[in-house]
Every structure is written in structure tokens, then in C-alpha cells.
């Protein structure tokens, strides 16, 4: 029997998890695995970059889950600094270019192909946006470049463009490094992954931390000094001096290769797959990680969510299937958790605007409760907002803003959403209670009770 050939494009979480899982199931004489990575690093935690920049984590080594050498030791032929430039699906091969070797090109054939090309940061085409001192934070190389700028600069003013996950995490990182931080956000509130009323709580807390947070403003460009370095960010409303500028505008799927090969893309430009993570309509092409769209189990639509935890699961599923096993990725409920300093921010399920767009009618309930028994040291207020479908009372989404212990409570709702639970049923959930952990009514239960009341009040 001829050795089968698996080719992986992209050496980060999804690609290398697929390769590793396939290798666990099939030996080198059965399956040859070749992986191409155009960057300097494999299997790293991009989500950890803000904590590296902030000084909490020694990087970049600590952020690397498995090095190229470790992958090679497991019989994965990993080619670093090698870019895949073309997919030839008809002939089952990919064209590659070695970035450090005079651009030498060659073709590699495959029986199964895994596309794990990741995402690229949104970078608006504005004047000065490419000036030195303006940094994205998508890759370890980006993180190192930002740290070099910070180390070289004597200034102390930072502007972060975008107040989403990356934006607020980078704001924290820069505050910890002693910078005066201004965050500029186009939406009316920070964290547009929350409803505006919950985003307002984040806004208030950020201001309390000394982070100047300017919302509802559009960045128009970056001004440079005589040496060509960034010195200020301009908006429609004014100018913000900056010794360093960090872009936190989110990412979009990197699917240039896939698009050129005619593979199916969704509304956000991500690859579309079946439940086994096989590209739709293809027998031997698989895709996972930040370059795909995933099924949102609540809205019934596909959406793009760039998250390391999904990428790892995708890789695991692909590797199992390519390795002769069976696994699926059933979809997501849209869970995310983040923090800015000691403020924890979490969501799962649908926001109001997302529920409306999905054709759902709903009621909402927002409560303020404490993370622990009110009398226990460290008890702090936390807010929980809950959306429930009218008539059925089915849970549709939860948003949480609070301090220690608030964020991961979103998992309660994530499981309830997955199970299609009603808020009425949730009121009786048997959650862990002891004074250091929760009030007798956990804040999620308090929200469920209020939401259940709202469902009854709304009637048919």
C-alpha cells in the first residue's frame, strides 16, 4: 500500500493540531505529513500576546505550545518560512515558495489537504497607517515588533484603535507598562460584541481605570514626525498624540488561496465546511481555525469567530477524520470571555441585534448581583443580561460584566444554550453554592428568574 500524503497549510493551532492528531492515529509508513508555515513560529498562543506585552508573561517562548523541532520529532515534516502560493486542486498539489531561500519554488502533492491559513488583521487604508510605531498584534512577530518600539521609545502616550477584545486587552497591557492610554472606538460603546447597555458598563469601568475611552469616533489617519514615525492619531473630532499606536480592529479570514482555487466562502469570507470540517463539496480538502466560518447553533447561520479554542478543536476533528477515525465539530454558541485589568467581560449566544437579525423575538432581563455571598470578603457587584425567546422561553444569550469570578460564569449559559434550555428550567439549576463562591442565588439564577418572569409577562 502506498503511503498516503497529508499536506497542511499553516503551522499554528488548527493546522498543527490536525497534523498531530493524524500522526497519533497513523504511523509514518501509512501517512506522510508535510506542513508549511510562512512565519517563524508554530503552535503559539496569539491570545497570549497582550500579556506578554504587558509583562505578565515571558515571551515569546512561553507562548509556544510546541516548537518546530518538537513537531519534527513526531515525524511531521514541517517547513518553516515556506509560503503556499497556489492550490492546484485538479492535480492534488500545492505550490510553495521558500521565503529565506531566494524564493525557491516547488510543488508538493497531497491526498488530503488541510487549510489552516488563519486570519489577517483589519488595517484600514488610512494615511500614515503603515508608519513605524503603528502596530498590529496578530502574530508573535507583531508582538516582538511592538515590544521593540516600546523599549526604544521614551514617550508614555499610547493610542489603541478599536475597543474590542484585542483593544481592551492591549489597553490593559499598556497601562501596566506605565503608559497613558487612549482607546478610540467607532461604535457608541466599547466591546461592540456586547449590547450597548452592557458596553456602557465597560466604558464606565475603563474610565475608572484611567483609560481614556473615546467612543463614536472615526479614525481618519496617523500623523508622522519628521523621521516618518507615528506621532498622533487623527479622528473626525480631533487629534490624539501617540508615541505608539496599536491596532485592535479585529481580523478577517485569510482565504486568498482558497478563493483563488474556487472553494466556497461565506458572508464574512471564511471557508464553509461540513460538520466533519471538510470543505463543502470537496472530498479531500479540510479547513479549520481562523480561516473558516462556523455554524452558530442559536442563529442557525455561519459566522466568523477567531478563537484559539475553536482552532484547536477543529484541528483535533480534522486529524481524527484524516487519521481514519470519526469526529465532528457541531458548532458554537458564541462564547467569549475577556478582561481589562480586574474587569471581566463575557458573552455567549446572541446579542439583541443578532437575535433580531436571526428573526427571533425575545425578552431581556438585566440584574445586578454579587459574585460571592454579600457578606464574604471580596464580594463585588456583577451585571448579568439575559435574552430569552418569547413564547418558548428558550435561552438565547447572556452577557456578563463584573469582577473576579464573573467571566467564567458565562459557561453556565453556554451549556444551557447548547442544551436548548428554557430560562424557566434554568431557575432550578443546581449550581455550586458556598459563601466564598456565590450568593445562595447565583447571579445567573437571579437573571434567569427575572427573564422567566419577563417571558410570562410578555405572554404569547
291 is catalytic: no
HSE at residue 343, side-chain half, CA atoms within 13 A, is: 24
Separation between Cα atoms, residue 234 and residue 212, nearest integer Å? 15
Contact with its own copies (CB under 8 A) among 339, 383, 394, 403: 339
Separation between Cα atoms, residue 442 and residue 453, nearest integer Å? 17
Chain-centre distance of CA 38, in angstroms? 21
Which residues within the stretch 54-93 sit at the binding site for its own copies (CB under 8 A)?
A: 56-58, 62-63
Task: List 157's β-bridge partners, or say none.
Answer: 180
432 touches its own copies (CB under 8 A): yes
Tell me the closest approach of the beta carbon of residue 190 to its own copies, in angstroms.
16
Contact with its own copies (CB under 8 A) among 180, 368, 381, 437: 437
In the DSSP assignment, the letter for residue 46 is: G
Judge whether 310 and 13 are in contact, CB under 8 Å: no
Task: List 336's β-bridge partners, or say none.
Answer: 347
Q: Kindly report whether the peptide bond that precedes residue 168 is cis, defined as omega within 30 degrees of 0.
A: no
Chain-centre distance of CA 445, in angstroms? 28
Give whichever of 56 and 88 is closer to its own copies, judged by the CB atom. 56
Nearest CA to 287 out of 272, 266, 304 is that of: 272
Tell me the closest approach of the beta carbon of residue 336 to its own copies, in angstroms.
7
Separation between Cα atoms, residue 195 and residue 126, nearest integer Å? 28
Stretch that binds its own copies, among 95-103, 114-122, 357-365, 405-413 (CB under 8 A): 405-413
In the DSSP assignment, the letter for residue 299 is: T
341 touches its own copies (CB under 8 A): no
Give whichever of 352 and 442 is closer to its own copies, judged by the CB atom. 442
Separation between Cα atoms, residue 293 and residue 429, nearest integer Å? 32
Stretch that binds its own copies, among 104-112, 151-159, 175-183, 414-422 (CB under 8 A): 414-422
Judge whether 383 and 364 are in contact, CB under 8 Å: no
Locate all alpha helices (DSSP H) within 323-442, ordered by sequence. Answer: 352-357, 410-418, 423-426
Give whichever of 126 and 415 is closer to its own copies, judged by the CB atom. 415
Give whichever of 101 and 328 is closer to its own copies, judged by the CB atom. 328
Which residues within the stretch 255-314 sit at the binding site for its own copies (CB under 8 A)?
A: 307-313
Binding-residue total with its own copies (CB under 8 A): 65
Tell me the closest approach of the beta carbon of residue 201 to its own copies, in angstroms.
18
Separation between Cα atoms, residue 309 and residue 411, nearest integer Å? 14
Site map for its own copies, 364-393, x if CB under 8 A? ---------x-xxx----------------
336 touches its own copies (CB under 8 A): yes
Site map for its own copies, 154-183, x if CB under 8 A? -----------x------------------
457 touches its own copies (CB under 8 A): no
441 touches its own copies (CB under 8 A): yes
Nearest CA to 414 out of 335, 327, 322, 312 is that of: 335
Contact with its own copies (CB under 8 A) among 1, 440, 457, 460: 440
Give whichever of 222 and 444 is closer to its own copies, judged by the CB atom. 444
Task: List 93's β-bridge partners, or say none.
Answer: 88, 109
Separation between Cα atoms, residue 387 and residue 360, nearest integer Å? 10
Stretch that binds its own copies, among 46-54, 219-227, 248-256, 259-267 (CB under 8 A): 46-54
What amino acid positions are annotated as catalytic residues?
Answer: 47
Residues that bind its own copies (CB under 8 A): 13, 45, 47-48, 51, 56-58, 62-63, 165, 307-313, 328-330, 332-339, 344, 346, 348, 373, 375-377, 405, 407-412, 414-416, 418-419, 421, 425, 427-438, 440-442
Amino acid at each position: 500500500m502506498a503511503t498516503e500524503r497529508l499536506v497542511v497549510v499553516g503551522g499554528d493551532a488548527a493546522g498543527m493540531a490536525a497534523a498531530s492528531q493524524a500522526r497519533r492515529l497513523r504511523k509514518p509508513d501509512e501517512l506522510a505529513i508535510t506542513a508549511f508555515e510562512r512565519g517563524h513560529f508554530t503552535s503559539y498562543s496569539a491570545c497570549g500576546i497582550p500579556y506578554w506585552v504587558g509583562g505578565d508573561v515571558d515571551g515569546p517562548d512561553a507562548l509556544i505550545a510546541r516548537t518546530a523541532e518538537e513537531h519534527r520529532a513526531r515525524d511531521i515534516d514541517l517547513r518553516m518560512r515556506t509560503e503556499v502560493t497556489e492550490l492546484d486542486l485538479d492535480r492534488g498539489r500545492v505550490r510553495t515558495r521558500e521565503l529565506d531561500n531566494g524564493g525557491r519554488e516547488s510543488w508538493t502533492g497531497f491526498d488530503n489537504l488541510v487549510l489552516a491559513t488563519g486570519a489577517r488583521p483589519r488595517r484600514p487604508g488610512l494615511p500614515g497607517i503603515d508608519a513605524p510605531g503603528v502596530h498590529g498584534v496578530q502574530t508573535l512577530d507583531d508582538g516582538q515588533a511592538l515590544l521593540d518600539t516600546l523599549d526604544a521609545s521614551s514617550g508614555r502616550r499610547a493610542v489603541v484603535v478599536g475597543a474590542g477584545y484585542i483593544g481592551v486587552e492591549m489597553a490593559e497591557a499598556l497601562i501596566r507598562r506605565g503608559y497613558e492610554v487612549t482607546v478610540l472606538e467607532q461604535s457608541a460603546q466599547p466591546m461592540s460584541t456586547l449590547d450597548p447597555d452592557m458596553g456602557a458598563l465597560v466604558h464606565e469601568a475603563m474610565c475608572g481605570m484611567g483609560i481614556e475611552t473615546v467612543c463614536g469616533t472615526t479614525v481618519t489617519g496617523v500623523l508622522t514626525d519628521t523621521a516618518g514615525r507615528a506621532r498622533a492619531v487623527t479622528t473626525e473630532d480631533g487629534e490624539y498624540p501617540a508615541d505608539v499606536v496599536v491596532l485592535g480592529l479585529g481580523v478577517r479570514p485569510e482565504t486568498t488561496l482558497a478563493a483563488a482555487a474556487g472553494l466556497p466562502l461565506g458572508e464574512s469570507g471564511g471557508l464553509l465546511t461540513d460538520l466533519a470540517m471538510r470543505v463543502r463539496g470537496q472530498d479531500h480538502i479540510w479547513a479549520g481555525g481562523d480561516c473558516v466560518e462556523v455554524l452558530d447553533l442559536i442563529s442557525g447561520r455561519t459566522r466568523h469567530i477567531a478563537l484559539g479554542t475553536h482552532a484547536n478543536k477543529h484541528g483535533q476533528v480534522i486529524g481524527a477524520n484524516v487519521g481514519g477515525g470519526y469526529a465532528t465539530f457541531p458548532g458554537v454558541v458564541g462564547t467569549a470571555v475577556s478582561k481589562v485589568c480586574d474587569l471581566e467581560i463575557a458573552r455567549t449566544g446572541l446579542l439583541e441585534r443578532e437575535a433580531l437579525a436571526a428573526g427571533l423575538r425575545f425578552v431581556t432581563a438585566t440584574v445586578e448581583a454579587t459574585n460571592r455571598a454579600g457578606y464574604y470578603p471580596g464580594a463585588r457587584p456583577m451585571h448579568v443580561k439575559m435574552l430569552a425567546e418569547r413564547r418558548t422561553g428558550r435561552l438565547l444569550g447572556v452577557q456578563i460584566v463584573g469582577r473576579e469570578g464573573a467571566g467564567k460564569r458565562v459557561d453556565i449559559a453556554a451549556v444551557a444554550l447548547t442544551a436548548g434550555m428554557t430560562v424557566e428550567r434554568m431557575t432550578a439549576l443546581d449550581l455550586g453554592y458556598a459563601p466564598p463562591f456565590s450568593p445562595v442565588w447565583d447571579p445567573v439564577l437571579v437573571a434567569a428568574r427575572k427573564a422567566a418572569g419577563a417571558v410570562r409577562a410578555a405572554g404569547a
